[in-house]
């Protein structure tokens, strides 16, 4: 029977090799007094050594030593030091084979170790069957099995046996899950699901392929195409309860497989598996399409508002000439009247000389029109979008399974009128807040009022979805916020929280810190000792921070980069992969086995990172054609694999000696980088005025102090960056090690200040308009007189105390990963009524922001650290701009998934380049030191691994035969 291989050589070594790092040897190979007593009972030194070595191998990794196995020198030295003998004494061990067996028998008898046989093996195999369903990967299951054997003091069988057992368990678990899902489908549902693979949906595609071809739209036509799919899936009437006993990661894997199979290939798969994939896809797509419908409506509302504002601005521009003429005419008339008044002449005659009463009447009418034009609200013009909304809104409202909080029930009732499911003699206005600008437009003429009313309802529907006042059942993005928050009991045991369970404890600490900080700032202001700033007449003034880079640093950087060898990007990728094996993260979506076609996979990753696309890469490489690359991309490259590969590179780079000169991996900066896209952005409401009229998206990236880009997200160019700061910190292993997080002005809100502090991060944003920011105190009346002009208000203590349990739940939800922090923060920021939880977070944020501003003003070193961190981020953007050589630097993928892979691939390639540069810069430093040249740590701290001039990025991508 051929060997069933589910692990790579590197993964096998991680499970079976003896540890050689000091921390692991101290943990596993430190011998206790009773161990030493048993070891010293052996007569000869080499037998004592061998006995101790076998004991250590049984403890970790938990296996037998192979005959003739070469023991790492670090292990022999570590044990020899404890035993008081020379490392070379081991050479004489087990000259008699029986000695090794006798020692093994003694160790088993004394310590209770068992061989993998009999009842113990059967129990472990039974455990393996159950664990296979919850395992997230082949490596995960093998590692857990090895740990279970250690816990049971069962000596590990051979690695081939472990791989075979794990592979069999995974296949059996997969079949059980498939059978569990398919078994809940009746004959009629099975027939209807199978029909998806044969039924023609038009355009030479099957119904199954048609259903999965959906994206967030930009107009009513796109919306109706989404509703076609949603209504079809709803008509299937597939019960979501069939997935109740299936692990979420297995549901996700079945869905991803369904999104990659062609209909013909799926028809050839066995019955239970085919039906499981079809059922999961139907249920998951139903929820995803409903989310896309809501997001499309959001974009259409945004487009309508932008057009209304443009109409308003255009009318103002047109009125400017008339305004000038009207003012000139009034000036002439006024001068004539004043002259007549001074001369005591007839005012009637003066009016007649200035154009007459008819002309004056016309001027007054024109002035009235101009006044209305310049006072116009864009809400006047949103009614022009009525016909656009009318094409889809009733159908959308009937299709969506909308739930609402009590406060938005009037809005839901108004929506039912538009949907046609409810009649009303009078259009209700109770969904509008008192004083809403919409009210005066809805009191207008009857023929326009009803249209304005419908548009108002649909605008408010968007805001309610954004805030979470209304939600969809079984939705990832627009689900019920209350159900998403973890219970208080779980929140209390969340280890990440840096907040006490009692609000009084937190308030007492913050009051003491704030009082001390305020007095320190007042003393510094009075003495004129604020570094780079001053407070004069209640106004804060700040000077620009000067750079503190030694003059010798530039020369050192130039010399180090001159020493780097020129390298082709293909050779660079191979070298890095040989060292850390990042390609092993790209396992097959179906089998979980790492990709065996390494060169093909590297071609795919390079095409993503250089922004070339697979077709261009197929023409530029000497190894693969387009269809081969497309197959590899479809089955091996996905978001989780990209994240695993990036984590591997970041961890490897952080271990390189050179990285330690730049930092300890405990501080990071984050910033958004704009990437132009295709010319559809304007129609999709994806234009940010900051970047002109060019449509695009942003990659929001976190970069550590060691220059590793450990997290990146694709976000619309139109959104605020602040909510995404916590995603990179909480959802990655590298991010959770961060203690100081730097951000630019765009990443600063009171909510972010609050959550970062409650999670134990030191948030240090560079606030561009800092002098205009106000300080908030618990007792403004006791504020030192020097700070009176900087005080903005009082902290609402009662609100914090009343809502502390829900704040605890919200922060714990973010820390647990149950909901991305950005999603929760966006909901808090979107509440039009600023409900108590959002207001409480704002109050906590004001406390933390006040403390930060005072610390910032008094700590020049903090300012410099933030400046260095943000500069590193900007330099990282420059490297990415150099790498995305394809397609004139534009991200031309139409789908959000394609855009995400393009950005993630670029980030991964940048991280690989940084790893290679870090390694070779370290070698260049060693070369300088051998030549007796200066390389002080202070100077090396000002170098960076972000250069690219020595890397050949363009041309043909040829790979060596050996790879």
DSSP assignment of 888-957, as one string? GG-B---SHHHHHHHHHHHHHHHHHHHHHHHHHHHHHHHHHHHTT----HHHHTT--S---TTEE-SS-B
CA distances from 393 to 386, 415, 517, 588, 951 (A): 10, 9, 55, 42, 54
Cis peptide before 61 (omega within 30 of 0): yes
**What are 952's strand-pairing partners?**
568
For range 633-658, the mean pLDDT: 94
Q: How far apart are CA 122 and CA 112, in angstroms?
A: 18
- Average confidence (pLDDT) over 338-355: 70
- On whether the CB atoms of residues 670 and 907 are closer than 8 A, the answer is no
Query: What are residue 891's DSSP bridge partners?
Result: 677
Residue 847 pLDDT greater than 60, yes or no: yes
pLDDT per position as a tens digit, 9-37 = 899 999 999 999 999 999 999 999 999 99
Residue 710 has pLDDT above 80, yes or no: yes
Confidence of residue 893 (pLDDT cuts 50, 70, 90): confident
Q: What is the per-residue pLDDT for 834? A: 47
Q: How far is the C-alpha of 874 from the C-alpha of 939, rounded, in Å?
A: 20
Nearest C-alpha neighbor of 703 from the set 876, 868, 941: 876
- Taking the C-alpha atoms of residue 279 and residue 366, their distance in angstroms, rounded to an integer, is 66
Pick the closest to residue 567 from 882, 963, 922, 913 (CA basis).
913
pLDDT tens, residue by residue, 143-177? 999 999 999 999 999 999 999 999 999 999 999 99
**pLDDT score of 347 more than 90:** no
Please tell me the least confidently modeled range out of 44-48, 295-299, 937-941. 44-48
Segment 365-377 shows an average pLDDT of 64
Residue 371 pLDDT grade (very low, low, confident, very high; cuts 50, 70, 90): low
Residue 317, pLDDT > 90, answer: no
Give dist(CA 30, CA 78) in Å, integer. Answer: 9
Angle between helices 569-580 and 598-609 (to 10 degrees): 120
Distance CA 332, CA 319 (A): 20
Q: Say whether pLDDT at 4 is over 50.
A: yes
Q: Is the pLDDT assigned to residue 688 strictly greater than 60?
A: no
pTM of the model: 0.87
> Residue 505 class from Cβ within 10 Å (0-12 exposed, 13-18 middle, 19+ buried)?
exposed
Render pLDDT for 121-147 as a digit per residue (tens, 0 to 9). Answer: 999 999 999 999 999 999 999 999 999
**395, HSE (Cβ side, Cα atoms, 13 Å):** 18
Question: Residue 194 burial (CB < 10 Å; 0-12/13-18/19+)?
Answer: middle
**pLDDT of 103 strictly over 50:** yes
Range among 78-92, 181-195, 203-217 rated most confident = 181-195
What pLDDT was estimated at residue 163? Answer: 93
Residue 402: which residues within 8 A CB-CB, separation 6 or more?
Answer: 412, 415, 470, 471, 472
Residue 319: pLDDT band (50, 70, 90) is: low
Neighbour tally for 4: CB within 10 Å: 14
The per-residue DSSP string of 699-750 comes to EEEEEETT--EEEEEEEETTS-SGGGHHHHHHSSHHHHT--EEEE-GGG--H
**CA separation for the pair 387, 634 (Å, rounded):** 41
Reported as a pLDDT band with limits 50, 70 and 90, residue 503 is: very high
**pLDDT above 70 (res 797):** yes
Q: What are phi and psi of 424, to 5 degrees?
A: -150, 130
Residue ranges with strand state E in 436-498 = 470-472
CA 869/CA 859 separation, integer angstroms: 16
Q: Residues near 651 by Cβ (< 8 Å), separated by ≥ 6?
A: 733, 734
- Mean of the pLDDT values across residues 476-484? 81
Confidence of residue 829 (pLDDT cuts 50, 70, 90): confident
**CA 163, CA 4: separation in Å to the nearest integer?**
6
Report the mean per-residue pLDDT for the chain: 87
Lowest mean pLDDT among 77-81, 373-377, 723-727: 373-377
Q: Is pLDDT of 683 > 70?
A: no
* Residue 387 pLDDT greater than 50, yes or no: yes
Please give the pLDDT value at position 322: 67
């Amino acid at each position: 029977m051929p060997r069933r291989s589910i692990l790579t050589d590197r993964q096998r070594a991680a499970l079976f090799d003896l540890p050689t790092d000091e921390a692991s040897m101290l943990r596993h190979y430190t011998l206790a007094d009773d161990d030493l007593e048993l070891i010293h009972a052996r007569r000869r030194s080499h037998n004592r050594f061998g006995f101790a070595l076998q004991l250590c191998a049984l403890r970790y990794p938990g296996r037998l030593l192979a005959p003739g196995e070469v023991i790492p020198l670090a292990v022999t030295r570590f044990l020899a030091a404890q035993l008081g003998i020379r490392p070379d004494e081991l050479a004489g061990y087990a000259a008699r084979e029986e000695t090794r067996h006798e020692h093994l028998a003694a160790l088993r008898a004394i310590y209770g170790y068992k061989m993998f046989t009999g009842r113990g093996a059967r129990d472990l195999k039974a455990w393996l069957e159950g664990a296979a369903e919850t395992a997230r990967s082949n490596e995960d299951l093998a590692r857990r099995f090895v740990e279970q054997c250690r816990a049971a003091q069962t000596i590990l069988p051979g690695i081939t046996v472990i791989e075979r057992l794990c592979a069999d368990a995974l296949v059996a678990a997969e079949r059980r899950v498939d059978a569990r899902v398919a078994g809940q489908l009746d004959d009629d549902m099975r027939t209807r699901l199978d029909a998806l693979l044969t039924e023609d949906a038009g355009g030479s595609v099957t119904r199954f392929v048609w259903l999965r071809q959906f994206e967030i739209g930009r107009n009513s036509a796109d919306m109706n195409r989404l509703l076609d799919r949603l209504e079809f899936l709803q008509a299937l009437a597939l019960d979501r309860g069939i997935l109740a006993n299936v692990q979420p990661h297995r549901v996700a894997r079945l869905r991803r497989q369904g999104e990659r199979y062609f209909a013909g290939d799926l028809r050839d798969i066995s019955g239970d598996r085919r039906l499981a994939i079809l059922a999961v896809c139907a249920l998951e797509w139903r929820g995803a399409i409903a989310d896309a419908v809501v997001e499309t409506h959001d974009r259409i509302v945004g487009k309508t508002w932008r057009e209304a504002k443009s109409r308003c601005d255009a009318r103002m521009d047109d009125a400017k000439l008339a305004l000038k003429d009207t003012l000139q005419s009034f000036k002439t008339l006024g001068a004539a009247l004043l002259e007549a008044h001074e001369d005591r002449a007839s005012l009637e005659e003066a009016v007649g000389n200035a154009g007459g009463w008819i002309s004056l009447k016309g001027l007054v009418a024109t002035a009235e029109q101009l006044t209305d034009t310049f006072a116009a609200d864009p809400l006047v013009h949103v009614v022009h979008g009525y016909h656009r909304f009318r094409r889809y809104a009733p159908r959308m409202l009937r299709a969506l399974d909308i739930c609402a909080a009590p406060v938005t029930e009037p809005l839901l009732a108004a929506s039912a009128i538009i949907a046609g499911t409810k009649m009303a003699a009078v259009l209700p206005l109770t969904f509008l807040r008192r004083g809403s600008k919409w009210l005066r437009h809805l009191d207008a003429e009857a023929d326009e009022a009803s249209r304005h009313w419908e548009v108002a309802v649909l605008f408010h529907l968007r805001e309610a979805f954004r805030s979470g006042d209304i939600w969809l059942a079984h939705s990832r993005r627009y689900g019920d916020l209350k159900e998403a928050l973890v219970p208080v009991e779980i929140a209390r045991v969340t280890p990440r929280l840096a907040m006490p369970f009692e609000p009084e404890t937190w308030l007492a600490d913050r009051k003491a810190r704030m009082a001390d900080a305020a007095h320190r700032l007042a003393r510094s202001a009075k003495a004129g000792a604020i570094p780079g700033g001053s407070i004069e007449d209640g106004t804060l003034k700040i000077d620009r921070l000067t750079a503190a880079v030694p003059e010798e640093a530039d020369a050192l950087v130039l010399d180090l980069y001159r020493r780097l060898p020129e390298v082709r990007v293909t050779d660079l990728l191979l070298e890095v992969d040989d060292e850390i094996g990042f390609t092993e993260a790209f396992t097959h979506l179906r089998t979980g086995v790492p990709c065996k076609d390494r060169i093909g996979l590297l071609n795919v990753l390079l095409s993503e990172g250089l922004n070339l696309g697979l077709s261009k890469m197929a023409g530029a490489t000497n190894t693969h054609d387009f269809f081969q690359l497309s197959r590899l991309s479809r089955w091996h490259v996905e978001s989780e694999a990209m994240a695993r590969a990036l984590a591997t590179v970041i961890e490897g780079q952080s271990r390189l000696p050179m990285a330690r000169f730049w930092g300890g991996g405990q501080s990071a900066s984050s910033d958004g980088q704009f990437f132009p896209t295709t010319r559809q952005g304007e129609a999709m409401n994806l234009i940010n005025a900051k970047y002109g009229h060019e449509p695009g998206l942003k990659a929001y990236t976190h970069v550590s102090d060691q220059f590793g880009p450990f997290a990146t997200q694709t976000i619309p160019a139109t959104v605020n960056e602040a909510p995404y700061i916590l995603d990179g910190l909480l959802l990655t292993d590298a991010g959770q090690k961060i203690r100081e997080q730097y951000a630019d002005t765009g990443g600063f809100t009171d909510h972010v200040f609050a959550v970062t502090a409650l999670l134990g991060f030191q948030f240090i944003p560079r606030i561009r308009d800092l002098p205009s920011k106000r300080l908030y105190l618990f007792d403004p009346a006791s504020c030192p007189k020097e700070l009176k002009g900087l005080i903005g208000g009082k902290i609402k203590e009662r609100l914090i105390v009343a809502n502390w349990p829900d704040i605890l739940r919200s922060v714990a939800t973010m820390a647990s990963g149950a909901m991305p922090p950005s999603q929760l923060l966006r909901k808090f920021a979107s509440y039009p009524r600023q409900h108590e939880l959002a207001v409480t977070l704002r109050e906590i944020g004001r406390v933390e922001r006040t403390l930060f501003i005072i610390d910032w003003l008094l700590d020049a070193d903090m300012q410099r650290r933030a400046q260095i961190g943000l500069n590193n981020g900007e330099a990282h953007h420059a490297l990415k701009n150099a790498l995305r050589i394809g397609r004139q630097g534009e991200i031309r993928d139409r789908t959000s998934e394609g855009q995400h892979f393009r950005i993630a691939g670029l980030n991964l390639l940048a991280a690989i380049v940084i790893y290679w540069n870090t390694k070779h810069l370290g070698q260049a430093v060693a070369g300088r030191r051998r030549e007796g040249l200066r390389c002080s740590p202070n100077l090396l701290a000002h170098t960076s691994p972000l250069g690219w001039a020595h890397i050949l990025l363009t041309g043909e991508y040829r790979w060596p035969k050996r790879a």
